[in-house]
Structures are given as C-alpha cells and as structure tokens.
Amino acid sequence: MERGFPGRRRHLSASAAQTLTMQFSPINYTCPGCGAPLKFSPLTGTLRCEFCKREVPIEGEHAPIVEHDLHSALATLDHAPNQEITREITCPKCGGSFTLDPFAISANCPYCDTPAITEFVQEIHPESILPFQIAHKQAQEIFARWIGSLWFAPRELKHLVDTRKSLTGYYLPWWTYDADTVTDYAGQRGDIYYVTVQKRMIVNGEERLVEVQEPRIQWTPVSGQVARSFDDVTIRASQGVSRKILDALEPWDTSQLVPFDPKYLSGFDTEEYTIGLDNGFEMARVRMDGVIRSDIRLDIGGDQQQILNYHTRYHNTTYKNTLFPLWMTHFTYKGKEYYYAINGQSGRITGERPYSYTKIVLLILALLAVFFLAAFFDDIRETYGENFFHRSAPQAYPSAPPASTDVFRHTADCESRGGVWDYINDQCDR
C-alpha cells in the first residue's frame, strides 16, 4: 500500500484515527542571538537563524558509523506489526497543538513554522544520516529547469514552479546492507562454430548448388563458483512514496554519511521506517542476485550461457538504518496526482509528467499544414513548371521553413548559451 505524500504531512488536531495517540514534547533549537528558531542550512552545514543570520555549528561526534549483524538482529527483533502511533504535539513556541502523521517524527508547526522534532519509536533507530546538500532555492532551480525542458508540459506545471515553497524537504528512511557472497553454479557454455552446407539458390536466373557457412552452437556442461562482496546496497524503508520514484533517485553516496544528530532534522519532515529489516533484506537479495547472475555468465564465458541452478551463501551480512534527504512536491492535473522528487544530495530529479494534449494536437496540426502546403506547391510546380515560382513567388518556397524548425533553432541557440528553452513563453531561461 502506498500512502500519498506530501499532502499527508500533518493534520490539525481532532482527526484522531484508530491509532495509538501519544503526547510528545518536541525539541527545537533557538538562536542564542535573538531567540528565533534555528533550522539546518544545507549551504553552510550549520544551524542557521532566518532572522539574524547567526550560525551555530553542529559538533558532530567523530564516532565511526557501525554496521550491525543482520542475523542476530533478526533473531531478537519483535516481529509485531508496526504500531501506528499518532504523535500529538504542543508547539513550544506558539502553544498551538497539532498531530504528525503515523511514522513521521519531525515537521514544522503549521501555525508558526517552528521546527518540532520528536523521538523515534520503531525498534531500530537511525545512527547515521546524509544531511541535505541541496538547499531549497537550488532545488527550485533544478525543478524549474527540468520542467522547462519538458516538451508538451501543460501550462499549470509551469505555475507550480513559480509558487515559492512548493517543494518540501524530507528525510526518508533507508536500509543499507553489506554481504560477502559465495555462489556455486551449474550451467552450460555455448560456443558458436560454423559449418559449410550446400544450398540450392537461384544465381543469374539458374538454380545452382552453392556452399554457405551456417552457425551452430556447441553446448558444454560447466560448473563453478563466483564470489562477490557487496557494500551498502541501498533499499528504501518508506512505503509512503512510490518505489519507482525512490529507485530513480539512486545512487546515494553513502561515503558521505555522518553520525545521526537531531539538529540535521530541524526544518525538515522526517519519517521512520515502514518496511522492516527482514523485508528490506529480501529486496536487497533480489538486487544482489542480478549482479551475481551476471558474474556467473561472465565466469561461464563462451558466446552464450545457460544457468541451470545456483546457490548463494551469505556471510558477514550487516545492515544500517539511515536517513536520506529529498525535496518533493506534487501536483494535480485533470484529476490525477503527479509526484516529483529531487535527491537532496546529488540534485538528481525524477517525476511523473503530464502531457498537454492541446499542445500536441496544435503541433500535429501545424505539421499537417506544412505537409499539405508543400504538397500543394509540388502540385503547382508539376502543373506550371519550375519557372512559376521564379516569376510570381520567388520567396514562397522552399525558403520559409516549417514553424517547428524555429523551435529547434531557438532551443539549440539557447542551450549553446547554457540556458533552457522555454517553449511555453518562447524565451530562453538562464
């Protein structure tokens, strides 16, 4: 089941569902200069006051980020289904009360925008985090450039770019898995060889016997062993956002992970895992399996390979629970929701895009018009001869290019100047 986002951010009190409701006293950080709330700034990597611009460094512990043994964790974990806990919060700044969605652990107060950070309640807490490196403004620019590059995007999509604050910053949970694998396999190697066969063919109108080379495959049974170590196979641990979108944001550079500190969450929405450690490992195994199968094919060699059976043993299997940063937004067009996300570390963007059928139809009509016009002039040329054009309409054909080549030329010009051609407003966005 995939829940919607980011509309599910927080409900104002009174919408208590059939979940366990608990009171939480959120923490927040205040500016030592003016007392205003501090938020994490991706630009400086510090807590920063939006009012007096004071910066407070985050003194991260230099403790190494530890990988935990998977099998002992799976043996001791309570396998009870996730308890949905609704966190009721009273804002320490304005006193307003609101609730977070189940599994959300931080958000900004809907009344005064002060960050509210609560505790994790799932059994495993993240011990590391990839702090945001792309700031809100940069994310807006990436989003605007991407939308501008889309052909046939409806005008409404462009308006979404213009609304400030349309992107929300989220920290979502991920699992990472390491494993040393050893795989025994049995299969067949196919080697191509050629045989000379005689074939009846028609040559210069006569039937003859001709010698031709034909490929054959020689299959040889093979067996062997391949070994591979996997480091940080990243598996999404959130069910809130579609897998298609989260997988498209890869890769994540886990060498940049830092020890977890709640200060990094200040100003962002954060979620706990809803895909368990065991299910996450099943997904990781599917991903590792694809790599192992291509290792087996390489090991078999030859021109073609058949894998008959194989068995993988996993050693030193470890995991981490961690948080990755994303900017996300969504948009409704003709009754359907479209979601967009930006990797808050690399700036990679992905999304589902709507098409403006009006624009597509207009372009088809323009192309048809050009086609018929060309056919019409061809007709005249055939009827009246080439001289017709030189006498009466020397510039009419073929020097007027079809409308669409203009767009191509502008796009190329604009891109050569480092911009993105905005085909909606016919201008070059830099």
Q: Where are the alpha helices (DSSP H) in 275-356?
A: 277-300
Half-sphere exposure of 138 (CA within 13 A, CB side): 16
CB of 33 vs Zn ion, minimal distance in Å: 4
* Of positions 17, 94, 197, 365, contacts Zn ion by CB under 5 A: 94
- Minimum CB separation of residue 47 from Zn ion in Å reads 10
Q: Is 91 in the site for Zn ion (CB under 5 A)?
A: yes
The residue range among 108-116, 207-215, 303-311, 362-370 that interacts with Zn ion, by the rule CB under 5 A, is 108-116
Residue among 12 and 17 whose Cβ is closer to Zn ion:
12
How many whole angstroms separate alpha carbon 265 and alpha carbon 166?
A: 19
Site for Zn ion in 238-297 (CB under 5 A): none
Which residue blocks in 301-352 are alpha helix, DSSP H? none
Output the six-digit token pair for 203: 């040559």
Query: Out of 47, 49, 153, 277, which residue is the one contacting Zn ion (CB under 5 A)?
Result: 49
Among 31, 226, 245, 265, binds Zn ion (CB under 5 A): 31
Of the listed pieces 93-101, 180-188, 362-370, 388-396, which binds Zn ion according to CB under 5 A? 93-101
Phi, psi of 80 (to 5 degrees): -60, 145
DSSP calls for 62-109: -PPPPPEEHHHHHHHS--PPPPPEEEEEE-TTT--EEEEPTTEEEEE-
What is the dihedral sign for C-alpha 93, 99, 105, 110? negative
- The pair of structure tokens assigned to 115 is 């960050």
Please pick, from the candidates 8, 11, 36, 88, the single residue that binds Zn ion as defined by CB under 5 A.
36
Does position 47 interact with Zn ion (CB under 5 A)? The reply is no
Q: How many residues bind Zn ion (CB under 5 A)?
A: 16
CB of 294 to Zn ion, least distance (A): 53
52 binding Zn ion? (CB under 5 A): yes
The footprint of Zn ion on residues 308-337 (CB under 5 A) is none
Q: Which stretch binds Zn ion (CB under 5 A): 83-91, 289-297, 338-346, 377-385?
A: 83-91
DSSP state of 315: E
Question: DSSP state, 303?
Answer: S
User: Tokens representing 412?
Assistant: 């190329």
- State in angstroms the smallest separation of the CB of 267 from Zn ion: 13
List all residues 6 or more positions away from 417 whose beta carbon is below 8 Å from its beta carbon. 428, 430
- The beta strands (E) that lie in 237-290 are given as 258-259, 269-271
Q: How far is the CB of 97 from Zn ion (least distance, A)?
A: 9
Candidate ranges 24-32, 141-149, 366-374, 413-421; the one touching Zn ion (CB under 5 A): 24-32
Name the residue nearer to Zn ion (CB basis): 116 or 172: 116
Rounded to a whole number of angstroms, the CA Rg of the chain reads 31
Q: Applying CB under 5 A, which of residues 16, 77, 112, 366 lies at the interface with Zn ion?
A: 112
SS3 227: strand
Q: Is 34 in the site for Zn ion (CB under 5 A)?
A: yes
Judged by CB under 5 A, which stretch of 92-100, 358-366, 368-376, 407-415 contacts Zn ion?
Answer: 92-100
Burial 103-125 (b: 16+ CB within 10 A, else e): bbbbbbbeeeebbbbbebbbbbe
| Candidates 32-40, 286-294, 300-308, 402-410; binding stretch for Zn ion (CB under 5 A) | 32-40
111 binds Zn ion (CB under 5 A): yes
Instruction: List % helix, strand, coil for the chain (3-state, nearest 5).
Output: 25, 40, 35
Of 267 and 351, nearer to Zn ion (C-beta) is 267
List residues near Zn ion by CB under 5 A.
Answer: 31, 33-34, 36, 49, 51-52, 54, 91, 93-94, 96, 109, 111-112, 114
